């Protein structure tokens, strides 16, 4: 609607629409891409490195000799053993105090003992009887202790 | 185009190269993965390391510094599976490189950051929290004029270099303030690399002489401390002179000293 342009701060709606349309014509989606030819992605098999350390395998710069600074000497041993470990990547099995077979045996019995803890009382008694039967068949079964009335 | 083509990189190893030389590498385009590489020039697994003095360019490497071309084969070396090429050049002026361990001198304190002189074009900054066990309340005891051994965290031509005194796991591992006494002097960068090489005879021979402590910064600075001033100065003189001595001269000099 054309209203008298009295104290109007911005553009009126019609001129705005016209300007927008003109802009859209000029600027399409393709406008925002660079007009350069596609750079070929360089093969990534070359790494650029500005430091000499990986090229020449340089050592750590802090050193101490003949026990002048014991902490630094400890550090030197650590760092040297680290670099050796990287070269020799075999995992040596640590010598175990207990052999694997013993561990297996222990676990077998362990599972049984802990398992018994969680049985109900009835089952415990049955187990107990079974154990006794297995272990000592020859021994007569002990009479279950019942309340003995005191003899006057 | 400069140079009129280039020579294959392998043929120039050990020779003097000048800036502008192009070193051709065996082609590794995508087509090669289909064809089996025959012959000695088998494509190495892993990436090729293009070290200091070299840049990538179409077809191979472009030399940017004058010096001798060095090569390390692809092998069981810790880094650089795939081999490495670099230019062994000599210079006295240090340019900060990320990851390098250097000796810096504290020149000032600005707020929570120390300013260090590392011999480069700009002073490096070191935050007071970049020490092992430092917290806002527990500040490290660093004064102006102290020597600090640290590594660069940020070092490029667009930004001011930043240093830290801890490694990636948060431990100091030898970095931090270097103690009292001792002697600091400057040598060329090539000598530092020679001294830090894995089997350096100079260091091995010196270690037989007296007990002493040595800190080598990649910026050309060396700090030495021995029990007496005289021993310290002897070690300093040997290190400065050994750049230009042959192995025999050095052994003679050391024999004289151990005889004394």
**What is the band of A90 on the pLDDT scale with cuts at 50, 70, 90?**
very low
Please name the residue of chain A whose CA is at the shortest distance from the CA of residue B25.
A46
B217-228 in b/e form (b: 16+ CB < 10 A) is: bbbbbbbbbbee
Regarding whether B157 and B135 lie in a shared domain, the answer is yes
DSSP character for B82? T
Which residues neighbour A121 within 8 Å (Cβ) at sequence distance 6 or greater?
none
| Mutation to test the B interface, candidates A41, A44, A52, most B Cβ within 10 Å | A52
CA–CA dist B213, A66 (Å, integer)? 9
Report which of residues B251 and A42 the model is more confident about: B251
- The C-alpha of A81 sits at a distance from chain B's nearest C-alpha, in angstroms, of 13
Q: Residue B173 is part of a domain; what is its CATH number?
A: 2.40.50.140
Let me know if residue B93 belongs to a domain. no
Let me know if residue B40 belongs to a domain. yes
A41-67 in b/e form (b: 16+ CB < 10 A) is: eeeeebbebbbbbbbbbbbbbbbbbee
Cα distances (angstroms) measured from residue B56 to each of A39, B24, B49, B85: 15, 10, 10, 11
pLDDT at B109: 93
Q: Which residues of chain B are within 8 Å of residue A58 when distances are taken between CB atoms?
A: 193, 196-198
- The C-alpha of B135 sits at a distance from chain A's nearest C-alpha, in angstroms, of 23
Structure tokens at B184: 């600091």
Q: Dump pLDDT digits (tens) for A46-80.
A: 888 888 888 888 899 999 999 999 999 999 999 88
Domain boundary among B125, B150, B177: B177
Regarding whether B192 and B170 lie in a shared domain, the answer is no
**What is the band of B11 on the pLDDT scale with cuts at 50, 70, 90?**
confident
- Please answer yes or no on whether B47 and A45 come within 8 Å at the CB atom: yes
DSSP character for B25? -
From the list B79, B211, B213, the residue facing A54 with the nearest CB is: B79
Let me know if residue B171 belongs to a domain. yes
Comparing A76-80, A140-144, B205-209, the range with the smallest average pLDDT is: A140-144
- Please answer yes or no on whether B193 and A52 come within 8 Å at the CB atom: yes
Structure tokens at B42: 């088998």
Using the structure block, give the residue that is written with the tokens 């020597």.
Answer: B147
- Please answer yes or no on whether B206 and A65 come within 8 Å at the CB atom: yes
- The C-alpha of A110 sits at a distance from chain B's nearest C-alpha, in angstroms, of 41
Q: What's the total number of domains in chain B? A: 3
Q: What is the mean pLDDT of residues B12-17?
A: 89
Report which of residues B33 and B72 the model is more confident about: B72
Q: Dump pLDDT digits (tens) for B211-220.
A: 999 999 999 9
Q: Residue B33 is part of a domain; what is its CATH number?
A: 2.40.50.100
pLDDT at B142: 92
Q: Residue B197 is part of a domain; what is its CATH number?
A: 3.30.1370.10
- Please answer yes or no on whether A52 and B86 come within 8 Å at the CB atom: yes
pLDDT at B199: 86
- Please answer yes or no on whether B216 and A45 come within 8 Å at the CB atom: no
Let me know if residue B115 belongs to a domain. yes
Q: Dump pLDDT digits (tens) for B105-157.
A: 999 999 899 999 999 999 999 999 999 889 999 999 999 999 999 999 999 98
Q: What is the mean pLDDT of residues B80-97?
A: 86
Comparing A128-132, B124-128, B137-141, B167-171, the range with the smallest average pLDDT is: A128-132
**CB distance B106 to B143 below 8 Å:** yes
Let me know if residue B26 belongs to a domain. yes
Regarding whether B115 and B50 lie in a shared domain, the answer is no
Q: Is B105 helix (H, G, I), strand (E, B) or coil?
A: strand
Query: H helices of chain B, where?
Result: 189-195, 201-207, 229-241, 247-259
Let me know if residue B147 belongs to a domain. yes
Percent of chain B at pLDDT exceeding 70: 87
Regarding whether B105 and B56 lie in a shared domain, the answer is no
Is residue A44's pLDDT more than 80? no
| Mutation to test the A interface, candidates B37, B149, B174, B178, most A Cβ within 10 Å | B174
pLDDT at A151: 83
Percent of chain A at pLDDT exceeding 90: 11
Regarding whether B198 and B173 lie in a shared domain, the answer is no
Domain that holds residue B194: 183-259
Q: Which residues of chain A are within 8 Å of residue B99 when distances are taken between CB atoms?
A: 51, 53
CA–CA dist B123, A129 (Å, integer)? 85
- Please answer yes or no on whether B197 and A58 come within 8 Å at the CB atom: yes
Structure tokens at A101: 């077979």
Q: What is the mean pLDDT of residues B22-34?
A: 61
CA–CA dist B59, B257 (Å, integer)? 54
Using the structure block, give the residue that is written with the tokens 């697994």.
Answer: B45
CA–CA dist B151, B101 (Å, integer)? 4
Domain boundary among B177, B207, B238: B177
DSSP string, A30-88: GGGS--SPPPPPPPTTEEE---SHHHHT---SEEEETTSSHHHHHHHHHHHHHHHHHH-
CA–CA dist B22, B5 (Å, integer)? 7
CA–CA dist A151, B247 (Å, integer)? 109
Regarding whether B172 and B237 lie in a shared domain, the answer is no
Helix B229-241 and helix B247-259, axial crossing angle in degrees, nearest 10: 170
Q: Dump pLDDT digits (tens) for B215-243.
A: 999 999 999 999 999 999 999 999 999 98
Regarding whether B84 and B22 lie in a shared domain, the answer is yes
Q: Is B110 helix (H, G, I), strand (E, B) or coil?
A: strand
Percent of chain B at pLDDT exceeding 90: 50
Please tell me the total number of residues recorded for chain A in this structure: 152
Domain boundary among B151, B177, B203: B177
């Amino acid at each position: 609607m054309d209203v008298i342009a009295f104290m109007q701060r911005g553009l009126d709606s019609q001129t705005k629409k016209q300007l927008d349309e003109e802009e859209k014509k000029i600027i399409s989606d393709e406008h925002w891409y660079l007009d350069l030819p596609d750079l070929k992605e360089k093969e990534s098999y070359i790494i650029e490195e500005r430091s000499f350390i990986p090229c020449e395998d340089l050592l750590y710069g802090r050193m101490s000799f003949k026990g002048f600074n014991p902490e630094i000497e400890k550090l030197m041993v650590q760092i040297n053993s680290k670099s050796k470990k990287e070269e020799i990547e075999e995992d040596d099995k640590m010598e175990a105090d207990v052999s694997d077979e013993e561990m297996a045996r222990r676990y077998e019995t362990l599972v049984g003992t802990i398992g018994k803890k969680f049985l109900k009382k009835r089952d415990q008694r049955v187990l107990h009887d079974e154990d006794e039967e297995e272990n000592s068949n020859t021994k007569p079964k002990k009479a279950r202790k019942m309340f003995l009335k005191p003899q006057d | 185009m400069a140079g009129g083509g280039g020579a294959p990189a392998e043929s120039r190893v050990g020779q003097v190269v000048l800036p502008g030389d192009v070193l051709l590498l065996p082609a590794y385009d995508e087509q090669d993965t289909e064809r089996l590489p025959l012959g000695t020039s088998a494509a190495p697994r892993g990436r090729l390391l293009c070290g200091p003095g070299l840049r990538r360019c179409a077809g191979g490497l472009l030399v940017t510094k004058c010096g001798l071309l060095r090569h390390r084969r692809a092998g069981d070396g810790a880094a650089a599976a795939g081999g490495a090429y670099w230019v062994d050049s000599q210079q006295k002026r240090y340019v900060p490189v990320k990851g390098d361990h250097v000796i810096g001198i504290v020149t000032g304190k600005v707020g929570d950051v120390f300013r260090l002189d590392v011999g480069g074009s700009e002073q490096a900054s070191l935050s007071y929290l970049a020490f092992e066990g430092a917290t806002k309340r527990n500040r490290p005891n660093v004064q102006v004029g102290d020597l600090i051994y640290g590594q660069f965290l940020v070092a490029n031509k667009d930004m001011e270099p930043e240093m830290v005194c801890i490694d990636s796991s948060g431990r100091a591992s030898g970095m931090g303030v270097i103690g009292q006494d001792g002697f600091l002097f400057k040598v060329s960068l090539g000598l530092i690399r020679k001294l830090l090489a894995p089997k350096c005879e100079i260091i091995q021979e010196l270690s037989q002489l007296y007990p002493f402590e040595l800190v080598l910064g990649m910026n050309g600075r060396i700090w030495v401390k021995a029990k007496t001033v005289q021993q310290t100065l002897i070690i300093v003189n040997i290190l400065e002179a050994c750049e230009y001595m042959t192995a025999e001269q050095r052994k003679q000099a050391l024999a004289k000293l151990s005889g004394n």
